[in-house]
A and B are shown apart, each in its own frame.
Chain A
């Protein structure tokens, strides 16, 4: 069984959960003896992964002949119809600037190594995103034309056009893996072009994999897809390495309550601040940390300043992977107040560091962590009182961590890989 997989992010270039999930999924599939050819926009700076064949779109060389041929083909035309405007649903100036500054050295390091590349891809969520998605589909069609694989697996809307193009030219079945929809990213103010692409992909896929029932429900209700076409495969977490809190010293003595993720509307950072404000009125030795960046930063910084809590409420900005791990290790409580969270892999990560968690009811991860404390994202008073409970009751905190970690034992990428492998077989079988 050989899979042609289209991804977008890969560690350490991750701005959200997609990159980490993609990484886990490929590991789980390899352990289930599935061969993967993983296509990414670029290879620059990513972790090398010897067991996976990684194809970088910006290194694929197309002949002049094939290029002109491609121009007249279907993917170009459909692309043009779909992409009337160049838009960028992820793009926020602050996060893009921070991201770029952090990784500039990595990106420029290897420049020149592929001077022959036909197309330039950043693999980020920059201003040029729609054009990149479009060019990516041309590469998808070319790789599809090689027909040296059994099944196509595409992750999220950015790789949908590539996946559908590969399916059209190869006749092989397509699985579309949905980690987040436009409704999760943007609430009701959706980017119509993006949701059009999503609907297009969902309709053309042979099967859809959703990362949670929460997401499956979104796909059914917002995109009108038949629920029978959707399979739920929950995300998991890498557990091989035993994580040690030992050796990481907290910089301050107070208890740390952590928010970690993109600082955007759907992650509910504003509810976190309001809850923090309530808690800080009652407890002294606690600090709140907002780790991450996003388009809501200016608004939230102003809000925290207005509440005059910035002596106890801290913003770290974008954190790299090492800093993220340090942040988890220093934390005493993790809060995920998402307004809409298709999965929420960070909850797993926090547990690996023995950090108790409070989850939003509006999250996919709460489906598998049944013992976690859950609140409605909008119920700030409830959230505040639960935070206070956790901080004052060490026994409760430990009990929840232990229970959740127990549940975590059965959640493994190998299981997710196994489910996907079975799905591949079932589809290829019915396809032939």
Chain B
């Protein structure tokens, strides 16, 4: 049997107030742009999360549990569903109840913590794991890191935490001549299984579906299924990983994306050797064919498939170093509100907005960027961070005063 493994990423950052200025530092401690966060969440819920969740429920019912998908929901996306649109969460819970949907573990704040603080990284994973248990009654055994950022060291860390499966980008430079359509094992691991994204087939849906300049346009479910069939004989598992917002938000409803997806399972089931599975089931069907050595970080972003969407220019480097430098001070306050506010500043999107490479990926960056320029993003972020720092310093002073009084 050849397995189709769908995994969808759901994430929404807490965006900062774009007009948070120097004059706000030390005075205004409310950083979130609540209006636009609510508006964006509700818009995307309307266009994507709600209709697509309903469609998935319909498909699972229709195919009697033979249809399966997996999700990774960032913790802060869930926070926003609870805050602004609980209906979406109810639908996700219904999906969990079908038993056909796996919820994958990730960092709660969709952060790059692994690169800067291992202890915080672990903390965020456990917080997210707890949330998965509470909401969906699942104990995650599969992990995916923010934006599929991955290397050997991360795999070892995750294996040590007891996971059985990890996801990564099937980038050409890590696969070499190999195909992404097999189960692999991270180099040096003995229990952990590695699923690599088939970026070509994934991007055919996520990026090219509505591109009229594409030679395969228009993409039908029948045509797409025929491409999947062609893997038969030289692959075992086809990993289709993409942003969930592909459906209805990146590819609008009028492109026919929903009809395409509704039709897809039927086309795939026409071939008797094809089935759907969840990432966590892969090792029950297959054994890893080889170990993959990834000494350097890979991700699923941009053509480079590296970290340069979030790190590398002085704006990104100085701001991310500055925010992680506060970790100890923040944790020492013991103030849950401050700790939460600080964690929200770790979200990778903040650094993505500061990206200055505007080449072929510039369009994508621009689409997701609430700021006019990466420099604006940096200024606002640093103003906010400076205010948070100032708040912590004030707390420390007040504490010292108090303890002196007591003495």
Contact = CB atoms under 8 A, between A and B. Distances in A.
> Do A and B associate with each other?
yes
Interface of A: 94, 97, 251-252, 289, 297-298, 301-303, 305-306, 308, 310-311, 314-317, 323, 326
B87 interface: no
A301 B375 CA distance: 7
B322 A97 contact: no
Contact of A316 (B22, B315, B319): B22
B373 interface: yes
A310 B314 CA distance: 11
A262 to B, nearest CB: 16
Interface size range of chain B in the complex: 20 to 34
A308 B318 contact: yes
Nearest to B313: A302
A305 B385 CA distance: 14
Q: What are the 4 closest A-B residue pairs judged by CB atoms, nearest first? A: A305-B314, A251-B26, A306-B314, A305-B318
B160 to A, nearest CB: 33
Nearest to B385: A311
B373 A94 contact: yes
A298 B27 contact: no
A237 to B, nearest CB: 24
Interface string B364-396: 000000001101101100110110011000000
B317 interface: yes
Nearest to A251: B26
25 contacts: A94-B372, A94-B373, A94-B375, A251-B23, A251-B26, A252-B25, A252-B390, A297-B375, A301-B315, A301-B379, A303-B314, A305-B314, A305-B315, A305-B317, A305-B378, A310-B382, A311-B382, A311-B386, A314-B382, A315-B379, A316-B21, A316-B22, A316-B23, A317-B376, A326-B23
B129 to A, nearest CB: 34
B215 interface: no
B372 A97 contact: yes
Nearest to A256: B22
B158 to A, nearest CB: 32
Nearest to A297: B375
B322 A317 contact: no
A302 B374 CA distance: 10
A311 B325 CA distance: 12
Contacts of A310: 318-319, 322, 378, 382
A252 B26 CA distance: 6
Nearest to B372: A97
B81 to A, nearest CB: 32
A351 B390 CA distance: 29
Interface of B: 21-27, 313-315, 317-319, 321-322, 372-373, 375-376, 378-379, 382-383, 385-386, 389-390
Given A305-B318, A323-B23, A311 B389 contact: yes
Nearest to A314: B22
Nearest to B393: A253
Given A305-B315, A308-B321, A323-B23, A314 B378 contact: no
B144 to A, nearest CB: 30
B362 to A, nearest CB: 15
Nearest to B373: A94
A402 B321 CA distance: 44
A251 B24 contact: yes
- Among A94, A289, A303, A311, max chain B CB count under 10 A is at A311
A411 B37 CA distance: 53
B23 A302 contact: no
A302 B314 contact: yes
Contacts of A252: 25-26, 390
Contacts of A306: 314, 318
Contacts of A289: 22
Contacts of B373: 94, 298
Contacts of A315: 22, 379
Given A302-B313, A308-B318, A317-B21, 14 more contacts: A97-B372, A251-B22, A251-B24, A251-B27, A252-B26, A301-B315, A301-B378, A305-B317, A311-B386, A314-B25, A314-B383, A314-B386, A317-B379, A326-B23
Nearest to A306: B314
- Among A97, A297, A305, max chain B CB count under 10 A is at A305
- Among B318, B322, B385, max chain A CB count under 10 A is at B318
B26 A302 contact: no
Contacts of A305: 314-315, 317-319, 378
A316 B24 CA distance: 11
A317 B24 CA distance: 14
Contacts of B21: 316-317
A97 B317 CA distance: 27
Contacts of B375: 94, 297-298, 301
A299 to B, nearest CB: 10
Nearest to A303: B314
Contacts of B386: 311, 314
A169 B71 CA distance: 77
A273 to B, nearest CB: 13
B33 to A, nearest CB: 16
A303 B378 CA distance: 13
B189 to A, nearest CB: 37
Contacts of B22: 251, 289, 314-316
B315 A302 contact: yes
A252 B23 CA distance: 9
Nearest to A313: B382
A302 B316 CA distance: 10
Contacts of B376: 317
A209 B22 CA distance: 39
A224 B383 CA distance: 49
Contacts of B390: 252
Contacts of A308: 318, 321-322
A120 B270 CA distance: 66
Contacts of B322: 308, 310-311
B310 to A, nearest CB: 15
Contacts of B318: 305-306, 308, 310
A308 B390 CA distance: 17
A105 to B, nearest CB: 15
Contacts of B313: 302
A301 B321 CA distance: 16
A289 B375 CA distance: 16
A305 B312 CA distance: 12
B375 to A, nearest CB: 5
Contacts of B378: 301, 305, 310
A251 B379 contact: no
Contacts of A302: 313-315
B275 to A, nearest CB: 51
Contacts of A298: 373, 375
A215 B373 CA distance: 36
Contacts of B25: 251-252, 314
A298 B313 CA distance: 12
